[in-house]
Amino acid sequence: MGTAFVLKPSKEKPKQLSTFLFSQHGAEFEPHYTLRHLDPEQHASRNRYAAALYDAYSPDVLYAEVLLIPEWTQPPPLSEQAKANGAIPPPPEPILPSQFAIQLYNPDQQIIVRHRPASVTKAAAWEFEMPQQTFRAPSGSVLDRTQHDPAGSEVTPKIVFKWKKDSKFSKDLACFMSGKSTDIEGKAKHRDPDITVAIFQSLKELTLYEPNLQRVDVEDLKGLEVVLLLGAAVIRDVYFGTLKDTFNLNTRKKSTANDSSGPTILYPDAATQSASPVQDSRVPPTDPRTQWELEAEAARLRRQAMEEQRQKKRREEEEERLTRQLLEREEKEQRRMQQAKVEQETEWVKRMYGREDASVRPNIPPRGPPQGRHHSETGQSAYAQAQQGHSSVPQHANAWGGYSPAPYMSGAASQSSFLTPIPTQQHNLKQKSSFFNFRRRSDHDANKLQRKRSAVF
């Protein structure tokens, strides 16, 4: 028979808490330890892994803890052209750690668990050592009190343990006691065979073989139990899980009130054990992954600003184009309205003046030679014929050398153009411009007027 511990994850918040249920000799399971991981919502949990083992009934009692800050890959540098285009190198990826340290408290000591990768002939293994003597023996000597604790002394013999996979394709892990640190190489035939002390079935249930544990020469059996439980949980999380989830690479940024309080405390002393370093929310030191995230965020913000500028420019150009089209449509509509107005006014003018022309046109005489000249010439011709027919009528000379048709005609009748003698020359008729022939005479008569003087004076 043995002692069994079953790891049961919490179904309620906080989900980073799990419980090791304990059963011995077939009894019912009951809580015995609490396994606490980093809260992935905390900013301080990013790019690291931590686990701690507490007492299930006294949450302030911390037995041991593990903190892992991984090393990172170095991505190839970018060319200057790529940097100018805003490109960023691929993110650094965590490297699988080759070892981790389990920090035990009361008394304080570190247990280093070293990982040996699998090879063609050997399966993967994780080795660690526990000191045979841990507690200082009571002594009244001052000299004894100045010595180091046996757990920290280099001369204290240590028992070697080894976790190995049960088979290549199995998820079961078995822990063996494989010797002492004082064993001499080359005398393996005198070494005791490996003793199975624990088995981790399906990475969920840990069974301790009590009969074999009694053969283990370790003073601090409680410390060995804590190391087996916490070591098995860390091996499961780190070496059988995904590194992205293990080291919280995708942790959401969340600011806390203590973000600027200072660096994370890894191993607090006895006075500060009540404050869990695993749940410390203070800002972790800058690592390559964090630096890359800062640079990537800065590059993202630059690209976002550039994209916003491009979108703003496109919006302004689109607004300018729409405004220009609107103005062109308005101008075209104004021209159309003006043209329609002009055509309407033109049509109205045509209708208005067309009616007036129709009402006035019947009173306008037809076009032809001037009526006055026609009548004058006609009258003069008739009068000339009358004069020729009455050439025997006596004529009397007037004061200007002309002749009056008869002595009995005077006054207005004597000034009429019908009674005025008409010269016989044909060309004198063409030079008359007055209708009644009062303004202009022939050149021959004009000369006569200039040469003659008044008969009275």
Lowest mean pLDDT among 29-33, 135-139, 299-303, 316-320: 135-139
294 part of a folded domain: no
The band of 361, judged by pLDDT with boundaries at 50, 70 and 90, is low
Q: Do 167 and 72 share a structural domain?
A: yes
266 part of a folded domain: no
457 part of a folded domain: no
The band of 277, judged by pLDDT with boundaries at 50, 70 and 90, is very low
Cα separation, 149 vs 155, whole angstroms: 11
Q: Is the pLDDT of residue 403 over 80?
A: no
Q: Do 195 and 334 share a structural domain?
A: no
Q: Do 12 and 42 share a structural domain?
A: yes
Of the candidates 156, 132, 151, the one whose C-alpha atom is nearest the C-alpha of residue 216 is 132
Indicate the pairing of strand 109-116 with strand 195-201: unpaired
290 part of a folded domain: no
Q: Do 330 and 196 share a structural domain?
A: no
The band of 208, judged by pLDDT with boundaries at 50, 70 and 90, is very high
Percentage of the chain exceeding pLDDT 70: 67
Q: Is the pLDDT of residue 411 over 50?
A: no
Q: Do 422 and 305 share a structural domain?
A: no
Percentage of the chain exceeding pLDDT 90: 35
The band of 186, judged by pLDDT with boundaries at 50, 70 and 90, is low
| pLDDT single digits (tens) 69-108 | 999 998 888 888 887 777 788 888 999 999 999 999 988 8
Residue 205 has a pLDDT of: 93
Q: How far is CA 428 from CA 319, 374, 377, 384, 432, in A?
A: 87, 16, 12, 14, 7
CB atoms within 10 A of CB 224: 23
142 part of a folded domain: no
Domain containing residue 54? 3-76+83-135+148-258+274-285
pTM (two decimals):
0.61
Per-residue HEC secondary structure of 177-190 comes to EEEECCCCCCCHHH
Residue 170 has a pLDDT of: 77
293 part of a folded domain: no
Q: How many angstroms separate the first and last alpha carbons of the chain?
A: 186
28 part of a folded domain: yes
Q: Is the pLDDT of residue 266 over 80?
A: no
The band of 262, judged by pLDDT with boundaries at 50, 70 and 90, is very low
Q: What's the total number of domains in the chain?
A: 3
Q: Do 375 and 340 share a structural domain?
A: no
Q: Do 356 and 403 share a structural domain?
A: no
Q: Do 194 and 47 share a structural domain?
A: yes
Half-sphere exposure of 409 (CA within 13 A, CB side): 18
Q: Token pair for residue 220? A: 């601090």
143 part of a folded domain: no
Looking at per-residue confidence, does 448 or 24 come out higher? 24
Residue 106 has a pLDDT of: 85
Looking at per-residue confidence, does 257 or 18 come out higher? 18
Buried b (16+ CB within 10 A) or exposed e, 337-375: eeeeeeeeeeeeeeeeeeeeeeeeeeeeeeeeeeeeeee
Average pLDDT, the chain: 75
Q: Do 408 and 386 share a structural domain?
A: yes
Q: Token pair for residue 181? A: 């640190």
For the chain, the helix, strand and coil percentages under 3-state DSSP, each to the nearest 5: 35, 20, 45
Looking at per-residue confidence, does 247 or 440 come out higher? 247
Q: Do 125 and 26 share a structural domain?
A: yes
The band of 369, judged by pLDDT with boundaries at 50, 70 and 90, is low
Q: Is the pLDDT of residue 14 over 60?
A: yes
Q: Do 407 and 328 share a structural domain?
A: no
Q: Do 419 and 348 share a structural domain?
A: no
Enter the DSSP assignment of 132. S
> Where do runs of H (alpha helix) occur along 96-220?
142-146, 210-213
Q: Is 44 exposed, middle or buried (0-12, 13-18, 19+ CB in 10 A)?
A: buried
Residue 356 has a pLDDT of: 65
